[in-house]
Amino acid sequence: MKIPRTIFLLQFFTFLYLFTFTLASTEEATALLKWKATFQNQNNTLLASWKLSPVGSKNSSGIGAASSGACRGWYGVICVNDRVNRLNITNAGVIGTLYDFPCSSLPFLEYVDLSMNQLSGTIPPEIGKLTNLVYLDLSTNQISGTIPPQIGALVNLVEARLEKNQLTDHIPPEIGNLINAKIFYAFSNELSGAIPAEIGKMKSLKQLLLYRNNLSGPIPNSIGDLIDLTLLYLYVNKLSGSIPSELGNLENLMDLELSRNQLTGPIPASFGNLRKLQFLNRKDEVTSAFNLTG
């Protein structure tokens, strides 16, 4: 009996679809395993589920998958349409680097949380290939070196957490390309140089925390363009000059911490416009505060 042409084509394209996704899923899994192979602690029990194994069962079309990929019960891995979408291995005891993190092999990755591990080395420039990334958390590790300018390619990023590492050098001006970012944390590092004026392009920012670094130079006037900002923490740096009057444009600002810098001059009169401000600290003594709403 001949198989009707429409049924044959349906089976063919179903097979092609499943083959493509199985191949892609296996490629992603292999790339993650290559990164895992660089870890210093290969006996990590939490990541014991990261392995490829044959699958004997068939799907509804009678087609068997070649192997179980990262979407089959791997710790910290969540998939959408059989593609890796989220990777969350926070506090998993990982000892390693990001050098072999498979940025090119995970094109659908939207969420990455690698916080509270023992990751060292630098942030690779390949991170700019994760263009669908919405959430990035590398905090509380031992990552050193610079923030790569390629981070500016992550235009869909909503939250970036780089705090509590050993990052050095300046904040790249490409940071201004993160126009959808609402949270940017880079506090408790060793960042130096001026805060780039391009930071004023991050119009969606609600929280900007850069305290406990070695940042110097003036506070850029462009921060006054971040009208959605609610938290601005710049304390314990080496910032100098006067406080820009443009900060008085931040009508949603609730908390402003500028203490332990080298700022001069009075609080600008424009701060009278900050009706939502609950706390302002600008002196060198951390205990000195001004409550403008009281």
For the chain, 294 residues long, give each residue's pLDDT as a single digit of tens: 455 555 443 433 333 333 333 445 789 999 999 999 999 998 889 999 999 876 544 443 333 344 457 888 899 999 999 999 999 999 999 999 999 999 999 999 999 999 999 999 999 999 999 999 999 999 999 999 999 999 999 999 999 999 999 999 999 999 999 999 999 999 999 999 999 999 999 999 999 999 999 999 999 999 999 999 999 999 999 999 999 999 999 999 999 999 999 999 999 999 999 999 998 987 754 333 344 433
Burial class (CB in 10 A: 0-12, 13-18, 19+), 116: middle
Burial class (CB in 10 A: 0-12, 13-18, 19+), 104: exposed
**pLDDT (0 to 100) of residue 68:** 56
Buried b (16+ CB within 10 A) or exposed e, 185-202: bbbbbebbeebbebbbbb
Backbone dihedral angles phi then psi of residue 218, each to the nearest 5 degrees: -80, 160
The pTM assigned to this predicted structure is 0.86
- Tokens representing 238 are 């080496």
